[in-house]
Structure 1
């Protein structure tokens, strides 16, 4: 049943069939154990984001902020976070400007919670995640989620080991969401979203952040018929016609519908598409300004 968007020449409706259950890519599947990871050193090395580095790689060079600049930005963000309501009410434009510069890595998870409103949501629902976490869950969704766990960032230190703490927390967050929103259940595109959140915050905070993404930022994206993603696909094609008539005509001539290539971009908020440093910067602005940043 499961088929990746863009596989073969299929209609838009057909390409969406099964998207709620899988966007899998065999090359992204977890290899299961340390001894099976070819190309990595016995003493696993990671880059600054936690992704494993192959022995022949040097991790790439990125422009680094000076320690002084980073500390200055951290101090400014700490001031904002300690006085969040005041800043949101009177100096929201300043928050936006600081998000554009990039949220300091040490405060990114906390900032995402405040920007999204998930911190307030969590405080309004004490013990709710604990309650959902203790429940068994619908066997249908539990089975699908368990089959998807090893596909999420298999070369990140949190998720490289089958049954490791990262995969366990990912299961907890996704299962809890199916219980929180049984009308929606589980959509496979939620898994990389939840995984990115878990790289930056504990499971309970990640759950409430996922709730906000699904309900506030991307409403309708993960519903059974995926109406919102189809609408955004049509909007994307319309915009493409304005900004790149040549590309628009070529894709139209080849009968390549936007849904065949943009589904994973939008539903996974580019988490499986862009270089990681770009993903984090996009997400900073996504939480600040909403989903039009990803579009």
Structure 2
């Protein structure tokens, strides 16, 4: 008996067939999981509402016992197991090799991962953010410290998209450049050889971007997928290259297609930077929160505008990357001198463990409970939160690291993201590290002076 399982996204029709529908929550509105055998056809519609911005609650169309019956029946008929999603849309029943494994767990995706109910504290925080958003300009002028305080506590997930778009002035950019994103995304101009090279790199990287997230999960490649080395270290789920563009466009999952268009559009918008590995994780993370076009304009904002200004990290020569890593190394010596001394003894340099953390603002390897909290702050206060979180992570594991040798430290660092049980706790602890902007500026001036001497 043969069987297949597919995951498909059901979205409203769009006036532009080549672009994804512009939704507030692009990750999933209706995730339809179909199990088809020669004798039967079963379809589960998971309306995963709570984990997406501007949505609340968990609505299902099946009881727990019904789902368990279908899981058992699917397994007995050789069908692929159903997907179980966490509160951020990641597939929780996937093993280290990228294969979805059967589970009879009846747990549903919930807003905070601990239950579908919202606490009174969360309700009060949500109400406060609604009030702030309704009078944003006035609040930012009169009480900027209050805004920063609340950003550091974390934005309620259902409002995160709105707040991020406001911080990045996305609405204003769209109004000033009507139709520009669609023009980039649907561009059919004869590309140069350099442009073709950029697009080929993008094509490879989209398959390596959050393969465990439901938005980017390629169900059709289960049998062909394999683990490969990440450009930043560690392993990522990869899929074989496709050489037939038309065939690939038909096969590509919606999240990957959106990511490909966003990265292509940015490479056209900023040809001097084009595309560099690492940008895919940032753009992919944006797509789990906001719509496709909004993700593009957010990428433009964080690359070009203060306080983020990440453009220099990815431009030719990656000059800003060297500056960031210099600052990070010196901060470890300043705030964690005992650990820094041990690292020096074992010849451990910051480039051996923190490059991917800093270049992608933790999106490439850490869980989203940490990543999203970092970005809540980063969009408003810039690099200070990035360095603070690095220090907080090292501080959290300092006692273990002090006992390890060179090889053991590198192995520990590769697995470190998985060792963090509560990312929010790390971010909260980082706020109490007495790092000031003047410390960062002083170290940046030192780095510039060293460059002038060469």
**After the TM superposition, which of the residue ranges 139-148 and 125-134 deviates more from structure 2?**
125-134
The answer to whether the Cα contact below 8 Å between 1:46 and 1:53 also exists between their aligned partners in 2 is yes
Identify the structure with the greater helix proportion: 1
Structure 2 alignment gaps of length 5 or more: 1-33, 36-78, 94-101, 219-250, 388-454
Aligned with residue 382 of structure 2, among 274, 290, 294:
290
Aligned with residue 235 of structure 1, among 305, 313, 327:
327
**Distance in 2 separating the partners of 1:113 and 1:84:** 12
Once the 2 structures are TM-superposed, how far is the Cα of residue 41 of structure 1 from its aligned partner?
A: 6.5
Query: How many matched pairs?
Result: 258
Once the 2 structures are TM-superposed, how far is the Cα of residue 165 of structure 1 from its aligned partner?
A: 0.7
The answer to whether the Cα contact below 8 Å between 2:132 and 2:139 also exists between their aligned partners in 1 is yes
Once the 2 structures are TM-superposed, how far is the Cα of residue 194 of structure 1 from its aligned partner?
A: 0.3
1:47 counterpart = 2:86: yes
Structure 1 residue aligned with 2:281: 192
**Distance in 2 separating the partners of 1:81 and 1:41:** 44
**Distance in 2 separating the partners of 1:127 and 1:83:** 28
Structure 1 residue aligned with 2:149: 97
RMSD over aligned Cα atoms: 2.5
Q: Residues 97 and 245 from structure 1, CA distance in 2 versus in 1: closer, same or farther, beyond 3 angstroms?
A: closer
Structure 1 alignment gaps of length 5 or more: 1-33
- Using CA pairs under 8 Å that are at least 6 residues apart, name the structure with larger relative contact order, 1 or 2: 1
**After the TM superposition, which of the residue ranges 269-278 and 196-205 deviates more from structure 2?**
269-278
Structure 2 residue aligned with 1:176: 265
The answer to whether the Cα contact below 8 Å between 1:189 and 1:267 also exists between their aligned partners in 2 is yes
Normalising by structure 2, what TM-score? Answer: 0.53
Which runs of structure 2 are paired with 1:130-149 in the superposition (5 Å)?
130-136=182-188, 138-149=195-206
**What SS does the corresponding residue of 1:204 show, helix, strand or coil?**
helix
**Distance in 2 separating the partners of 1:170 and 1:62:** 26
Once the 2 structures are TM-superposed, how far is the Cα of residue 110 of structure 1 from its aligned partner?
A: 1.4
The answer to whether the Cα contact below 8 Å between 1:230 and 1:259 also exists between their aligned partners in 2 is no
Structure 2 residue aligned with 1:154: 211
Once the 2 structures are TM-superposed, how far is the Cα of residue 229 of structure 1 from its aligned partner?
A: 1.2
Q: Any idea what the Cα deviations from partners look like across 1:199-240, whole Å, max 9, x if unmatched?
A: 001111000101111112124111111111111111111111
Identify the structure with the greater strand proportion: 2
Once the 2 structures are TM-superposed, how far is the Cα of residue 63 of structure 1 from its aligned partner?
A: 5.9
The answer to whether the Cα contact below 8 Å between 2:273 and 2:311 also exists between their aligned partners in 1 is no
Structure 1 residue aligned with 2:338: 246
The structure with the largest alpha-carbon Rg is 2
The answer to whether the Cα contact below 8 Å between 2:86 and 2:113 also exists between their aligned partners in 1 is no
Which runs of structure 2 are paired with 1:66-85 in the superposition (5 Å)?
66-85=118-137
Aligned with residue 265 of structure 1, among 340, 344, 357:
357
**What SS does the corresponding residue of 1:151 show, helix, strand or coil?**
coil
